Structure formats: C-alpha cells, structure tokens
Amino acid sequence: MEHIEIFFKSVFIQNMVFATFLGMCSYLAVSKKVSTAVGLGAAVIFVLAVTVPLNWLLDQYILQPGALAKTLGAEYADYDLSFLSFIMFIATIATMVQLVEIIVEKFAPALYNSLGIFLPLIAVNCAILGGSLFMQAREIPTLGLALNYGVSSGIGWFLAILAIAAIREKIRYSAVPAPLRGLGITFIITGLMGIGFLSFGGMLTGDEGNKKEKTEQAINAEEEKKEQLKEELETNTTALNQ
C-alpha cells in the first residue's frame, strides 16, 4: 500500500512541475517537439531512478548523524556529516548524467543532437536534486520506497513535459494572440494544468481520514487512562488519610 501511495502522490499530487515547479528551464526549452520531450523525459526518469536510491544509501550510511556507526563501528557514532549532503548528492547526479550522455551519444546520435546543451544540463536540473532532497526531508524509510519515489517522480516529470509538448505542437497552428505566442501561452497552459493536477489531491484523502480517526481514538484512550489513574490516586490518598 505504501508503494502505491508514493507512486500516486509523486506522479499526480506532488508532481515536480505542477506542484513544486522544479525543472522548469528544460521543461520550457525542450517541449517544442514530442519526440525531443520523450527523449529528455526518459533520461530524467533514468537519472532519478538511479540517483535517489544511491543518495538514500549515502544519507543512511554516511551523512546522517551517527550513520557512520553502522559501517565503521560505535566509536564513530558522534560524527555528523549531514553538511555534506548537497555536495555528495550533486556529485552522484553529475556522475549519472555523464553516463546517460555517453549512452545517448553512442546509441541515439539524432536525439543527442536535438537535445543539445540540455542533456548535460540535467546535472543542474533542480528537479533531479529536488528528488533526492525531498527523499531526505520526507525520511523515506527503505531503499525500495526510495527507488519507487525516484521512478515515480521521474514519471511525473515525463508526463508533464510530454503533455505540454503535445499541446505546443497543436497550438502552433492555432490563432494565438501575438503577445501570448511562445512562452506566454506556454506559461498559461502550465498554470491551468497545475490547477487541474490539484484535483488529484482528493485521491488519498480517505486514507488520511482513517489516520486522523485512529489518532483521535489513541488520544481519547490516553486521556481515559489518565483520568483512571487520577481516580485511583485520589482513592488511595483518601484511604491513607483515613
């Protein structure tokens, strides 16, 4: 159930483009053709699928306070390397982007030429770094969930750039007012799509309602226990006084 919840949240509810507006530079620049958008979207999915789990391992076993105790022994329990998170995450991302660039250049030279400078720029794409930072901030507990989150976030970004590329190909032949042609109408469409994706927020509300009910029940049970303890103390105090 956790995997399904993370998938739907990452793709629809917390979409990288429409919810947090990350990766907008390449989203706007490479979305003029569907074929180019598909290539870049696939590259982003691959990079996120690899870097998020790798950065989860780095965070769990090296960067977190006391993490070195798991690998090097209890004498390193006081070490805190969390200040290196940005450097380590970016180094991992840059390495994987370089690998993707080599593979694309070797096996798909036409796609490599169409992507141009934006393929190596995935290394500084804020959506890629955002995936690892969100993984760290949300304290994803297992490697499997981290992999799921990376793939799901990449699919969400892929769907966003694919949708806007398909729309931009169609509106090229439409009578768009001159002041709105190009990025103007693209921003408006992106905003409308973002509003549309907000409607997916109700997909998992039932589960949240159940969690709230369970929390309220637990609080009520604790309050009842406290009242019972108070009554017992008052009874014992009265008996001792007599």
Q: What is the pLDDT of residues 142-171, one digit of tens each?
A: 999 999 999 999 999 999 999 999 999 988
217 pLDDT exceeds 80?
Answer: no
The reply to whether 194 and 238 lie within a common domain is: no
- The pLDDT of residue 105 is above 70: yes
Split into its structural domains, the chain has a count of: 2
- Quote the pLDDT of residue 162: 94
**Is residue 182 located within the same domain as residue 230?**
no
Residues 25 and 100 in one domain: yes
Question: 60 and 149 share a domain?
Answer: yes
At residue 119, the pLDDT reads 76
What pLDDT score does 150 carry?
Answer: 95
Clarify whether residues 66 and 174 are in a common domain.
yes
On the question of pLDDT at 140 being above 80, the answer is: yes
User: Do 209 and 198 share a domain, yes or no?
Assistant: no
Are both 198 and 224 inside the same structural domain?
no
pLDDT in the model for residue 52: 95
Closest among 16, 59, 20 to 150, alpha carbons compared: 16
153 and 235 fall within a common domain: no
Are 197 and 236 in the same domain? no
139 and 210 together in one domain = no
172 confidence band (pLDDT: 50, 70, 90): confident
The pLDDT score that the predictor gives to residue 236 is 65
Q: Stretch 82-102: mean pLDDT, rounded?
A: 89
Same domain, 213 and 115: no
C-alpha distances (whole Å) from 70 to each of 9, 52, 61, 65, 237 are: 31, 20, 7, 11, 50
pLDDT tens digits, residue range 188-199? 999 999 888 888
Is the pLDDT confidence value at 58 over 80? yes
Q: Which residue has the higher pLDDT, 172 or 202?
A: 172
DSSP code at position 120: G
Domain holding 58, by residue range, is: 2-203
Q: What integer pLDDT is reported at residue 158 of this predicted model? A: 94
Q: Taking the model in full, what pTM does it have?
A: 0.78
Residue 202 confidence class, pLDDT cut points 50, 70, 90: confident
Structure tokens at 144: 């499997």
Average pLDDT over residues 5-25: 89
**Pairwise CA distance, residues 127 & 22, whole Å:** 5
Instruction: Give yes or no: residues 102 and 86 share one domain.
Output: yes
